[in-house]
Structure 1
Amino acid sequence: MKKITLCATLIALFFMTSCQKENTQEESKAMSKEEKENWQTANLDAKFATSQKKVTAYLFSTNEMATLVKTPNIKEVRFLLGYADNTIQISIIGVDKSGKELGIVNPTVLKESNYQEKLSRLSALSISETEMRSPVVEEHLLLPKDALAGIEAWQEKLKSVSDLNAITSYEGSRFCYFSLEADVVAAMVDHEDIVNIGLFLGLNPKGKVTTILIGLDKNNAVKEFAQGITGGINIAVSIFDGVRPCPPYGSCKSH
């Protein structure tokens, strides 16, 4: 009986370990000045591509993001870029209209080797045409299929290790952050059952790297629901872009 119990325990531990390998989340620390500076000069070579391919997404807690965007006077959120351990580091800050930093949120880094199945669901989803949105939120809304295409395009660049320095730069200057209005994030965190905002890197229609924000459920899958009497229309709850890169929008000197 003891041998059977021991074997059962070992088997359980084996499966637990296997699951952890498939779906791991690493805590991210606050980005240092050195990491920001390293990003500006990092050589995005094969070593970088190998490490970055292991990063599925950067997860930002909706509770923390809600607190951030409810901070008085925050007008814009910025996704700061850094570099450490051969991978891109990202932190989110909230700023007022003068660019003064009023709050920061750091992510956990999702590394899930079999995430493609969850991501492929985007091709079957649509967006709600009946939901009321403000003009600024509507402006940043991204079709699920376009989000998937952008994410897959970035992943292909990492596989081929081609043009990585060019697609992360504007006229020879590397992007230091992306930004969008705080109202967009506020709309994302307003939905129930969205546990994390997943920040995925992707390519925009111009072939440049950008940030793609997707509302995720407790299993880090795209949050969706069925709409209509028969429940035949699958809706993606929240998918947005972080469209404004710096440069050319804004100044890197303030960060």
Structure 2
Amino acid sequence: MFGCSSTSDDSKDTVQEVAVPISNTEILNQYEAWQSADLKTLFSNAEQKMYSYTFDKEVLQQLINNEETAFFRFFLGVQNNTLEIYCSGLTKERQTVDALQKGEQQVCSFNLKEETNSKSAFDITSVKSAAVRKHILDKSAATDYLKNWEVAINDSATLEDKVSYDGTRIKHFTIGQEAIAYLINNDNVASVALVLGLNKENKMTTVFYGKNRAGALLSSKTDDSPVLDFTAPCPTTCD
């Protein structure tokens, strides 16, 4: 089992995140802070803890219900020496739909050995949409991503290359709205958790899990819920 709990002092047993809007000016300031942040200092806490960023299902569903929303974009920023991740909907022309929403940072714990040995109950052949299928990540591969990220953040000498393309740190990740819509179209999913991982190209990437109301990520072999990745990072896919 893979569970996450709020980093705030007023966390509760049940999870119901509140969307926090952020202005374009603030996200720009945080993006600039991310580009210049000292990685060793920034990820020093993460060396002992795995973090996720949780986005409320209702907020995501509202964006999906907006016929203009074609993509979701997840921006990286730094505030008070803490890595933050924000989400917005995008039109086909890559214009922002509604205000950006801040993901709630949470501490995660899970049994890596158990997750590695588990076999996914999710049947990818049941997914008819190619736009969704291309984003589904095998659960054992997802666990490898998380394990490799844990190793990466402890190696400050090579970490810069892992979070960058051609000398520029990753600004954001983009995914088609169909994939997020598919992930949350499940009565057991109360929110979506984004966890950072290290992909087969040895680059930082996003791993998306559905999360139930108790705060557990639907990651085990008994959970009939997909794990998503294969987002487009900027760089190299910018618009």
How does the TM-score come out when normalised to structure 2?
Answer: 0.83
> In structure 2, what is the equivalent of residue 210 of structure 1?
205
Check if 1:42 corresponds to 2:42. Answer: no
* Cα shift at 1:160: 3.0
Runs of 4+ in 1 over 4 A off after TM superposition: 27-31
> In structure 2, what is the equivalent of residue 228 of structure 1?
none
Higher relative contact order (CA 8 A, sep 6+): 2
In 2 relative to 1, CA 180–107 (structure 1 residues): closer, same or farther, beyond 3 Å?
same
CA distance in 2, matches of 1:110, 1:119: 21
Unaligned runs of 5+ in 1: 1-21, 226-232
* Cα shift at 1:23: 3.5
| Counterpart residue type for residue 168 of structure 1 | V
On the 8 A contact 1:178/1:242 being kept in 2, the answer is: no
Q: Per residue, is there more helix in 1 or in 2?
A: 1
Q: What SS does structure 2 have at the residue aligned with 1:153?
A: helix
> In structure 1, what is the equivalent of residue 73 of structure 2?
78
The 5-angstrom pairing of residues 1-255 of structure 1 reads 23-26=5-8, 29-31=20-22, 32=26, 33-45=28-40, 47-53=41-47, 54-103=49-98, 104-112=100-108, 115-117=109-111, 120-121=114-115, 123-126=117-120, 127-129=122-124, 131-223=126-218, 234-251=222-239
CA distance in 2, matches of 1:163, 1:29: 34
* Cα shift at 1:164: 1.5
In 2 relative to 1, CA 29–124 (structure 1 residues): closer, same or farther, beyond 3 Å?
same
In angstroms, what is the RMSD of aligned CA positions? Answer: 2.4
On the 8 A contact 1:52/1:86 being kept in 2, the answer is: no
* Cα shift at 1:125: 3.2
Unaligned runs of 5+ in 2: 9-17
CA distance in 2, matches of 1:106, 1:214: 17
Deviations 1:149-193 (A, max 9, x none): 001111111223341111111111111000010110111111111
CA distance in 1, matches of 2:7, 2:113: 17
* Cα shift at 1:98: 1.1
On the 8 A contact 2:115/2:140 being kept in 1, the answer is: no
Q: What SS does structure 1 have at the residue aligned with 2:195?
A: strand
In 2 relative to 1, CA 118–157 (structure 1 residues): closer, same or farther, beyond 3 Å?
closer
> In structure 1, what is the equivalent of residue 15 of structure 2?
none
CA distance in 1, matches of 2:65, 2:123: 25
* Cα shift at 1:117: 2.8
CA distance in 1, matches of 2:73, 2:180: 11
Q: What SS does structure 2 have at the residue aligned with 1:218?
A: coil
Aligned length: 220
* Cα shift at 1:42: 1.5
On the 8 A contact 1:77/1:180 being kept in 2, the answer is: yes
Q: What SS does structure 2 have at the residue aligned with 1:69?
A: helix
* Cα shift at 1:140: 0.6
In 2 relative to 1, CA 109–188 (structure 1 residues): closer, same or farther, beyond 3 Å?
same
| Counterpart residue type for residue 102 of structure 2 | N
Deviations 1:93-124 (A, max 9, x none): 11111111012332211124xx1238943641
How does the TM-score come out when normalised to structure 1?
Answer: 0.78
Q: Identity of counterpart residues, as a percentage?
A: 21
Larger radius of gyration: 1
